[in-house]
Amino acid sequence: MKDDVYILGIGMVRFQKYPDLGIKQLTAAAMEALAEDVRVEPKEIEAAWFSNSGWGMSYGQHCIRGQVALAPLNIQGIPIQNCENACAGASSAVHGAWTAVKAGLYDLCLAIGAEKVWYPEDKKKMYEGFASGADVEFINAMIEAFKASAAKKAQEEGATGKERKGGHSAFMDIYGMGARMHMQAFGTTQRQLAFIAAKNHFHGSLNPLAQYQMDMTVDEVLEDEVVAFPLTRSMCAPIGDGAAAALICSERMLSKFPDARPVRIAASILASGSLPGSGFDGISERASARAYEVAGVGPRDISCAEVHDATAFGELSQYEGLGFCPKGEGGAFAESGATKIGGKLPVNTSGGLECRGHPIGASGIAQMHELVTQLRGDAGARQVQGARIALAENGGGFIGMGEAAMCVHILEKVK
């Protein structure tokens, strides 16, 4: 169709800790990686969406982050939209670029996310930055209750993991509480969560761009330090820095790049969370139902998916919310091996947030990078055979009892 929208090119740097690099340098590195895929002159980019969450809190760079980061690369003078949507910022940037191209305003747009999360000199500031992705009045009142619940449940379950001495993001307490509620309601086990984390560590061991590249067994995951019961450290996304970029283009722009290998964006949906009693369905259910409708596919048509696994329980809950399995059966679905490479629906072949890493403002585009790589057939040892349709779910922040923002994208291989 003449109004189809494509990912023309993709690039990212390996997510890890970069003590000597700032946002400008990480942004430049992502653009260099993008140029290795598709070379585009800065003057050819008509508009840009820049995702970042923490630059203001960490270094005082507020308001015009995209203009500041992109101007040294000669991407200036064009419309630049600064995009902040917690962990869903980068996928929201893609959605913004997709919307503009779909509307016919532009033919070639840039979506880019860069994040500096690791501040070893001030861990308190680092963790406070994570907490700001929620209703701060609510979250501060709830954390102590979550911690007390976790301690009680761990004692009842006879948890074997070592108690973690370091700090952690407040979101780990929220995910831990969600996992305990799921365990109580459906009989989900800590070992099933460990299956998810072990699977992601295996996938990450095959990904040269992953922050963690070591394979782990289920027992090793269970024996790791406990962050917020039932979640051990290996079940949680690490702290790290990184950047990723994507070029979004129209159908008519493709002829100008005959050597490119585009992937069609079959659906791009952005949804917001809701408070209890609002009458809205869960955000995953709402966003994915709309994405399936727009793309004309269903959960059974998905070849592979990247989902927002800030923890192993986050991935489990998305199995159910996205319709990959019935409600309450996420643990058994994971334990069956269905979501591992070679299974019927491989999930997080990149290693996911748990192993690829989670620099907040860049993670959503990193998901796109993995799925484009899969749909092109370039994933090497982690390649999903016959991959044709892929789904990315990227959640951000916390409101009520779920994510505050979420993007669901469905990508399709171009024949």
Per-residue pLDDT of 267-296, as tens digits, reads 999 999 999 888 898 999 999 999 999 999
Q: Which one of 95, 168, 308, 358 is the catalytic residue? A: 358
The residue among 179, 174, 201, 202 whose CA lies nearest residue 192 is 179
Strand partners, 391: 305, 410
State the pLDDT at residue 50.
98
pLDDT in tens, 295-341: 999 999 999 999 999 999 999 999 999 999 999 999 999 999 999 99
Which sign does the torsion angle of CA 345, 9, 13, 379 carry? positive
Q: How buried is 99 (Cβ within 10 angstroms: 0-12 exposed, 13-18 middle, 19+ buried)?
A: middle
pLDDT confidence of residue 133: 78
Region 375-392 average pLDDT: 98
| Catalytic-residue membership of 236 | no
Q: What does the mean pLDDT of the chain come to?
A: 93
Mean pLDDT across 383-389? 98
Residue 380 has pLDDT above 70, yes or no: yes
Report the C-alpha gap between 271 and 261 in whole angstroms: 29
- Report the residue count for the chain: 415
Quote the pLDDT of residue 58.
83
Query: Does residue 211 have a pLDDT over 90?
Result: yes
Per-residue pLDDT at 140:
65
* 71-75, 126-130, 230-234, 396-400: range with lowest mean pLDDT: 126-130
CATH 3.40.47.10 residue window(s) in the chain? 5-120+240-256, 265-413
Per-residue pLDDT band at 401 (split at 50, 70, 90): confident
5-120+240-256: CATH topology is Peroxisomal Thiolase; Chain A, domain 1 (3.40.47)
What is the arithmetic mean of pLDDT over 387-393? 98
355 as an active site residue: the answer is no
Cα separation, 355 vs 344, in Å, equals 21
The pLDDT, as a whole number, for residue 128 is 63
Q: Is the per-residue pLDDT at 184 higher than 90?
A: yes
Question: Whole-prediction pTM value?
Answer: 0.93
Residue 272: exposure state from Cβ atoms within 10 A (0-12, 13-18, ≥19): middle
Q: For position 149, what pLDDT does the model report?
A: 66
CATH no. of 265-413:
3.40.47.10
Residue 339: which of 351, 321, 356 has the closest Cα? Answer: 351
Q: How confident is the model at residue 405 (pLDDT cuts 50, 70, 90)?
A: very high
pLDDT digits (tens, 9 = 90+) for 135-173: 777 666 666 666 666 666 667 776 666 665 555 667 898
Over 90: is that where the pLDDT of 51 sits?
yes
The answer, yes or no, to whether residue 183 has pLDDT greater than 90, is yes
* Residue 121: predicted pLDDT: 65
How many percent of the chain have pLDDT more than 70?
89
pLDDT band, very low/low/confident/very high, at 227 (cuts 50, 70, 90): very high
Can you give the pLDDT at residue 123? 62
Summarised one tens digit per residue, pLDDT across range 1-18 is 679 999 999 999 999 999
Mean pLDDT value of segment 376-386: 98
> Distance between CA 257 and CA 238 in Å, rounded?
37
The answer to whether 273 touches 405, Cβ cutoff 8 Å, is: yes
Check 87, 304, 325, 407 and give the catalytic one: 87
What pLDDT is recorded for position 415? 79
